Structure 1
Amino acid sequence: MKNVAIIMGGYSSEYKISLKSGEVVYNHLDSSKYNLYKIHVLTEGWYYVDAQENQFPVDKNDFSVIIDGNKIRFDVVFNAIHGTPGEDGLIQAYFKLLNIPQTSCNYYQAALTFNKRDMLSVLKPYGIKTAISYYLNNGDFVDEDQIIQRVGLPCFVKPNKSGSSFGISMVKESAELLPAIEKAYAEDDEIIIESYLKGTEVSVGVIKYQGETVVLPITEIVSENDFFDYEAKYEGKSSEITPARISEEEKAKVEDVAKRIYTILKMDGFSRSEFILVSGEPFLLEMNTVPGLTAESILPQQAREAGISLNELFDNAIELALNRNPF
């Protein structure tokens, strides 16, 4: 049987969510088909964690573990790390150097999509619609009047490289702008300030499934809060409606642009993109390449709606990684 390492955790504010995602993957992969190993990748170290919560250090030189005197190597890695280093290209590049297949996209695609500013810049020539934006790096002079003149009010202030809505603020009046910028800088040294798009928020998963690029059923997001923040995502302060209550024409447009983005960026593995439908036109907010896989997460909801069980979803990811051309 193949040895499968399920990596989870990470170095960002998302590590607790990632640990939950990893547990879901571990519980739904077929243990009669694979030897499953939970690997915690944390700032304090990398460990294999057994059923009794015993920790065995990972040798980062070759990504192996010594258990009861036996050296365990892995045939494939299931990547369930949200944020750095699992979603920004670092872990993908590491495994590529070691020639170990992993389930997420390649290192360049991960780095590009994790950097919202860079991804939007790459997609702009292809006619992908996005919000009006203003960029700041930590240390830049903050011209509040210029920012508001460009993006208007209300607007959103976001860390450029972060997930799960950490560090995001909705700014309704000018006095809230500087505190929102400081909050975003707590997560990242680059931020993006975007105009407010009034419309229907939808999330769409695009995956490789059985060798084909598949657009999953679209989810409509109705937040009780001002936007789809951490509380809305993980603490029940939102309604996630799958399939979305949108017209057939809107559905076709969202599916088309989501699949185009996946193809343009030469993606692999899972992806989940967020859009705002404004007057029937989809505007891209961001793409996640290691989306949440917990019971509350959107991609598993969409897979279920498509008739794909978690076992089938995760098993397919392993098979694709093992069969993917390494070059």
Structure 2
Amino acid sequence: MLFIMKKVAILFGGPSSEHEVSVSSAKNILENIDRELFEILEVFITKEFLYEIEGVLYNEQKGLEEIKRRNIDIAFPIIHGAYGEDGVLQKKLEELNILFVGSSSKASSLAIDKNKTNEILDANGILIPKSFVITKNNTEHGCDYPIIVKPINEGSSVGLFKFEKDVDFKNSLNEIFKNNNEMLVQEFIQGREFTCGVIEKEGEIIPLIATEVVLTKGEIFDYDAKYTSGGCEEITPANVDEETMKRIQNLAVKCHQIIGCKSISRTDIILKNDDLYVLEINTIPGMTKTSFIPAEAKACGYSMKEIITILIKSAK
């Protein structure tokens, strides 16, 4: 029987503040993808929405048409934050009938909106921090201090603040609303922080081994803590008993299902006393050499090459 290689377009870069993380994720994927199974087309998307394909620049529409013209079998978006993780790119791929790795435009646009996600999780009996949306014109909230303030629709803990007192919060409003008109205020949950990936393998939803995140610098797990050397310690597998690990994994699977995620997701969780609170759900988690998913996959016995193959085969 003749074996025909699948043509896969890796889409990376993008306009968001997580552009560099996306490039690093794509680099790791391109270094580890099984080139005996897949023929690769690199599609670099600039911060100005230009598509660079084999050295030629296209506007967005022409770039998408070029991907379609080349008879790509599967698109693999690895663009974090705006455009790649908010459902915009997924909607365009759906309209062109291009199969892709990851969640649908509907699930992506839901998961990126932390407020809407919280409402749905709460309605399904999942614990979330007490949350309020604030605007430049209305900064009132009902949380006791300390509080966390973060954008409603950003990833990688971009634009994250922690305030111990109301006076500090009020004095920082200009900085808080520097890049956003709306922000989310949440009660600060003091506890142990975990993150747990979920993959779909041959139609089965499988939780990965959870990671515990221990801060070694600063007070919050923000962008700097994630991507600065020595900002945090990531312990995979998390140092918890078997029952707690299973609870974390089951919660990650439940969130994946409730939001309607596909292929992959990663859920951030806080354990306080004996209660598990969900902080957020990521539909395109980082795939850099130091990201959680590769480490969790390795703890489950998957190589990076194997996890990439599983994800590509999950495309719908």
TM-score, normalised relative to structure 2: 0.92
Decide which of 221, 236, 246 is 1:252's aligned counterpart.
246
Contact 1:62 1:98 in 2 (8 A): no
The share of aligned pairs that are identical, in percent, is: 29
1:266: how far off?
2.1
SS in 1 for 2:80: coil
2:292 to 274, 277, 298: 298
Aligned length: 309
In the alignment, which residue of structure 1 is the partner of 2:7? 3
- CA 1:209–1:180: 2 relative to 1, 3 Å: farther
Tell me what 2:225 maps to: 232
**Match of 1:200?**
192
Return the alpha-carbon distance in structure 1 between the equivalents of residues 297 and 172 of structure 2. Answer: 35
Report the CA distance shift for 1:227/1:2 in structure 2 as closer, same or farther (over 3 A): same
CA distance in 2, matches of 1:262, 1:78: 19
1:190 and 2:182 aligned: yes
Deviation (angstroms), 1:252: 2.3
1:141 partner letter: N
CA offset at residue 280 of structure 1? 1.9
Query: Structure 1 stretch 35-44 or stretch 150-159: which is displaced more?
Result: 35-44
Aligned mates of 2:265, 2:109 — CA distance in 1: 14
**1:212 Cα deviation after fit:** 1.0
Contact kept, 8 Å, 1:82 with 1:290, in 2: the verdict is yes
Q: Report the equivalent of 1:20.
A: 24
In structure 2, what is the equivalent of residue 116 of structure 1?
Answer: 114
The residue that corresponds to 1:219 in the other structure is 211
Post-superposition offset of 1:56? 4.0
- Is the contact between residue 15 and residue 49 of structure 2 (CA under 8 Å) also seen in structure 1? no
The equivalent of 2:38 in structure 1 is 34
Q: 2:102 aligns with which of 101, 104, 111?
A: 104
Give the letter aligned to residue 161 of structure 1. N
Is residue 157–residue 180 contact of structure 1 (8 Å, CA) maintained in 2? no
Out of 242-251 and 204-213, give the one that drifted further: 242-251
CA contact (8 A) 1:162 1:188 kept: no
Q: What secondary structure sits across from 2:314 in the alignment?
A: helix
Pick closer, same or farther for the CA change 1:58–1:318 going to 2, 3 Å. Answer: farther
Partner SS for 1:30: coil
Shift of 1:179: 4.8
Question: How far, CA to CA, are the matches of 2:31 and 2:255 in structure 1?
Answer: 31
Q: Which runs of 5+ in 2 are unaligned?
A: none
Q: Kindly report which structure 2 residues correspond to 1:51-90, keeping only aligned pairs within 5 A, or say none.
A: 54-57=55-58, 60-61=61-62, 63-65=64-66, 72-90=70-88
Deviation at 1:59, TM superposition (A): 6.3
CA distance in 1, matches of 2:77, 2:52: 14
- What are the superposed Cα offsets for residues 158-208 of structure 1, whole Å, 9 maximum, x if unpaired? 011101111101111222213544334234322110111011000000111
Structure 1 residues not aligned, in runs of 5+: none
| 8 Å Cα contact 2:101-2:263 kept in structure 1 | yes
Give 1:114 shift: 0.2
**Equivalents in 2 of 1:296, 1:166: separation in Å?**
18
Task: Output aligned runs, 1:155-166, within 5 Å.
Answer: 155-166=147-158
Offset at 1:319?
1.3
